[in-house]
């Protein structure tokens, strides 16, 4: 019993030191893989920059670079008015210089080296004066960047090797310290699993064995993990497509770059889930030696109920926390909760929306835009006013023409702090219609609520749409107390079997009830 108490005391001391250390870093959110009309994306570089800096901390515009020996697709011949990234490179460099605002918004200069044989890789530069370099092979690309502050990051790696997937026979760990695990293509974590790479029509898909993230890790590569959109039709940072979270000293190019190199990054699919992960006090991305027991700590704050948190060791499931519930304390005797407000879904027309949330008896702590749609739909939209007691926004939702109706809805994730008797008033206007809804905290915490903008008369014929002019609607998703979404979980791995030839690696996979996920970068433990 005394030995157990002593182990627990040491364990708690380790975790406290780690938490103090991580407080030295701040968490920033970015999207470092979007395309514009300088290749096969949408919207001008200028408009993309404006949208990115309206809601992201850092961003990279990564258009396909043209070269007859590497990637000879001439987008000028595909759509009138298009230009090539190569022709506008100096302009893109200048946009990065002019839009950089340390402490507010950081752009990175980048381009895509598109090669089917070796897999698609994005080249990122620390400095804004660097050129486009397009050698025909990946080994030559690595060689040409040896003395440059550059990163070469592979993406959608799980496609078939030799056809856009990653060939792990060719990899430089120094220039490629992390990998894209998720984007609109789907997940490259493993050859199979949740939301695998495109199964809905891409000529590159579906995914295959050989190039996945887990297969790269199994080869012994030390790979950090990030997500992004790889967007072609969406705006920068569009919800559901993937974001990268970075722990850095401050919001500057040099600090973010240092976090990239040290793999202090992680991936989310949409919701900005807070995730921290340590082993024996060492943070994600770290490599250290430990022949004995490993004290694992996972801290997380979700935006919806957390279904499970998996600890993955050497690509196998070590332990799962199923439906963990936090037991945090209320702040200042008030309740604090999180919920999503979503609107759109009109199959009949594109809609311009104005929305407003007013709270009486409390305050708005966070309002995170979770907008979808292309660049044109995002120009002039977003959160217009945000104060303690009110949030106003504008939105443009597209006509829902396909089975993927969720794509045609926008949302905002809210966190509020209030008294139990507080009142939340939601107001919406679109298509000449107006609707208000007043809810209490208990209303939001007990269930989800959907309201149509048009008042629907009662009918028994089951054909409401015949008499409706608009199918526009909004939804107040069921909320959760923040303390129940705030987790601090501990696990000891005492089943260590020393392998002196290679390190064990661990990473975290978190899954929320709404399907949104997060993956940590791994930690490597040598014996």
Please report the pLDDT score of residue 10 as a whole number: 45
342 plus 226 within the same structural domain? no
* pTM passes above 0.85: yes
Separation of alpha carbons 267 and 226, rounded Å = 4
Give the range among 33-37, 117-121, 401-405 with minimum mean pLDDT.
401-405
Integer angstrom CA distances of residue 57 from 377, 443, 509: 21, 34, 24
* Same domain flag for 259 and 339: no
Per-residue pLDDT, 471: 87
- 308 pairs with which residues across the strands? 322, 511
- Lowest mean pLDDT across 312-316, 356-360, 458-462, 486-490: 458-462
**Same domain, residue pair 251 and 340:** no
Domain ends where: 233, 248, 263? Answer: 263
pLDDT at 161 over 60: yes
pLDDT average, residue stretch 154-174: 95
Residue of 335, 405, 410, 423 lying closest to 368 (CA atoms): 410
Is the separation of the CB atoms in 167 and 115 below 8 Å? Answer: no
Question: Where in the sequence is the domain holding 359, given as residue range(s)?
Answer: 335-483
Q: Can you state the percent helix, strand and coil of the chain, rounding each to 5?
A: 20, 40, 45
CA 176 to chain centre: 19
- Residue 370 and residue 247 share a domain: no
Residue 492 lies in a domain: no
Q: How far, CA to CA in Å, does 210 sit from each of 18, 115, 157, 189, 197? A: 36, 17, 9, 12, 13
Task: Give dist(CA 44, CA 36) in Å, integer.
Answer: 6
**Mean pLDDT (whole number) for 496-521:** 92
Q: Which residue has the higher pLDDT, 195 or 452?
A: 452
Q: pLDDT: is 111 or 198 the higher one? A: 111
Mean pLDDT, the chain, rounded, equals 91
Q: Does residue 4 register a pLDDT over 80?
A: no
The answer to the question of residue 296 being in a domain is no
CA 338 to chain centre: 18
What span, in angstroms and rounded, lies between the C-alpha atoms of 177 and 124? 12
Please check whether residues 231 and 339 belong to one and the same domain.
no
Task: Judge whether residue 14 has pLDDT over 70.
Answer: no
Max avg pLDDT among 14-23, 458-467, 510-519: 510-519
Spatial separation of the C-alpha atoms in residues 109 and 150, rounded to whole Å = 10
In this structure, of 15-19, 112-116, 381-385, the range with the lowest mean pLDDT score is 15-19
Q: How many CA atoms lie within 13 A of 492 on its CB side?
A: 10
Buried-exposed string 104-128: b where 16+ CB fall within 10 A, e elsewhere: ebbbbbbbbbbbeebbbbbbbbbeb
My answer on whether 344 and 213 are in the same domain is no
For residue 470, pLDDT over 90 is answered with no
Q: Where is the domain boundary, 210, 237, 263? A: 263
Are 109 and 249 members of one domain?
yes
- Predicted confidence (pLDDT) per residue in 240-299, tens digit: 999 999 999 999 999 999 999 999 999 999 999 999 999 999 999 999 999 889 999 999
Is 306 domain-assigned? no
Report, as an integer, the average pLDDT of 312-317. 97
Residue corresponding to tokens 């919406």: 428
Per the DSSP assignment, residues forming a β-bridge with 457 are: none
Measure the CA–CA gap between 126 and 128, rounded to whole angstroms: 7
| Nearest residue to 483 (alpha-carbon basis) of 299, 366, 300, 336 | 336
Contacts of 497 (CB under 8 A, 6+ apart): none
Name the strand (E) or helix (H) holding 506. Answer: strand 504-512
Span of 303-307, 407-411, 427-431, 480-484 with lowest mean pLDDT: 407-411
DSSP letter for each residue of 367-406: EEE---S-HHHHTT-EEEEE-SSEEEEEEEEPP--SS-GG
- The runs of H, that is alpha helices, within 100-246 are 138-144, 213-218
Report the domain count for the chain.
2
Using a 10 angstrom Cβ sphere, with 0-12 exposed, 13-18 middle and 19 or more buried, the burial of residue 519 is buried
Residue 2 lies in a domain: no
φ, ψ for residue 332 (rounded to 5)? Answer: 55, 30
Q: What are the strands, taking DSSP E only, across 249-370? A: 265-268, 274-279, 282-283, 287-289, 294-301, 306-313, 316-322, 335-344, 351-369
Question: Residues 315-333: what's their mean pLDDT?
Answer: 87
Read off the pLDDT of residues 175-206 as tens digits, 9 standing for 90 and up: 999 999 999 999 999 998 888 887 555 788 88
Q: How confident is the model at residue 88 (pLDDT cuts 50, 70, 90)?
A: very high
**Is residue 15 a part of any domain in this protein?**
no
Give the dihedral of Cα atoms 524, 525, 526, 527; nearest 10 deg. -160
Question: Does 5 fall in a domain?
Answer: no
Indicate whether 367 and 241 sit together in one domain.
no
Cis upstream peptide for 206 (omega within 30°): yes
Residues 350 and 240 in one domain: no
The model's pLDDT over 382-393, given as tens digits with 9 standing for 90+, comes to 999 999 999 999
- Quickly tell me which residue has 């973010």 as its tokens: 256
- Residue written as token pair 């297969």: 215
- Could you tell me if 252 and 345 lie in one domain? no
317 within domain boundaries: no
Two structure tokens written together for 491 = 């696990």
CATH code for the domain of 120:
3.20.20.140
Chosen domain end from 483, 502, 519: 483
Asked whether residue 273 is domain-assigned, the answer is no
């Amino acid at each position: 019993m005394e030995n157990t108490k002593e182990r627990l005391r040491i364990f708690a001391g380790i975790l406290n030191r780690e938490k103090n250390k991580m407080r030295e870093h701040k968490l920033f959110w970015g999207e470092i893989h979007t395309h514009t009309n300088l290749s096969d994306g949408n919207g001008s570089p200028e408009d993309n920059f404006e949208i990115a800096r309206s809601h992201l901390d850092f961003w990279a515009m990564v258009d396909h670079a043209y070269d007859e020996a590497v990637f000879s697709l001439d987008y000028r011949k595909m759509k009138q008015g298009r230009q090539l990234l190569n022709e506008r490179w100096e302009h893109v460099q200048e946009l990065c210089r002019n839009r950089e605002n340390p402490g507010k918004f950081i752009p990175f200069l980048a381009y895509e080296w598109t090669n089917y044989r070796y897999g698609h890789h994005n080249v990122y530069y620390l400095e804004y004066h660097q050129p486009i370099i397009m050698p025909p092979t990946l080994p030559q690309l690595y060689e040409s960047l040896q003395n440059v502050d550059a990163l070469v990051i592979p993406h959608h790696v799980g496609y078939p090797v030799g056809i856009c997937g990653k060939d792990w026979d060719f990899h430089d760990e120094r220039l490629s310290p992390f990998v894209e695990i998720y984007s609109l293509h789907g997940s490259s974590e493993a050859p199979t699993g949740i939301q695998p790479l495109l199964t809905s029509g891409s000529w590159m898909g579906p995914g295959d064995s050989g190039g996945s993230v887990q297969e790269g890790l199994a080869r012994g590569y030390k790979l950090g993990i990030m997500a992004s959109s790889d967007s072609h039709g969406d705006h920068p940072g569009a919800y559901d497509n993937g974001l990268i979270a970075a722990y850095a000293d401050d919001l500057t190019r040099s600090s973010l770059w240092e976090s990239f190199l040290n793999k202090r990054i992680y991936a989310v699919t949409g919701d900005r889930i807070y995730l921290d992960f340590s082993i024996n006090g060492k943070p994600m991305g770290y490599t250290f030696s430990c022949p004995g027991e490993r004290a694992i700590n996972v801290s997380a704050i979700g935006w919806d109920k957390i279904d499970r948190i998996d600890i993955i060791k050497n690509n196998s499931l070590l332990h799962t926390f199923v439906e963990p519930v936090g037991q945090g304390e209320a702040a200042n005797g008030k309740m604090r909760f999180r919920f999503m407000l979503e609107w759109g879904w009109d199959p009949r027309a594109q809609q311009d929306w104005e929305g407003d949330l007013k709270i009486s008896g409390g305050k708005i702590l966070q309002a995170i835009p979770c907008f979808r749609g292309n660049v044109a739909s995002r120009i002039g939209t977003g959160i217009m006013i945000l104060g303690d007691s009110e949030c106003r926004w504008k939105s443009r939702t597209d006509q829902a023409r396909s089975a993927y109706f969720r794509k045609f809805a926008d949302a905002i994730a809210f966190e509020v702090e209030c008294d139990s008797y507080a009142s939340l008033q939601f107001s919406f206007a679109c298509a000449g219609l107006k609707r208000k809804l007043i809810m209490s905290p208990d209303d939001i915490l007990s269930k989800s609520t959907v309201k149509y903008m048009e008042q629907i008369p009662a009918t028994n014929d089951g054909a409401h749409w015949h008499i409706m002019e608009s199918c526009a609607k909004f939804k107040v998703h069921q909320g959760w107390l923040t303390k129940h979404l705030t987790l601090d979980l501990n696990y000891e791995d005492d089943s260590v079997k020393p392998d002196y030839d290679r390190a064990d690696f661990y990473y975290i996979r978190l899954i929320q009830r709404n399907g949104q996920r997060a993956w940590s970068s791994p930690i490597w433990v040598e014996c």
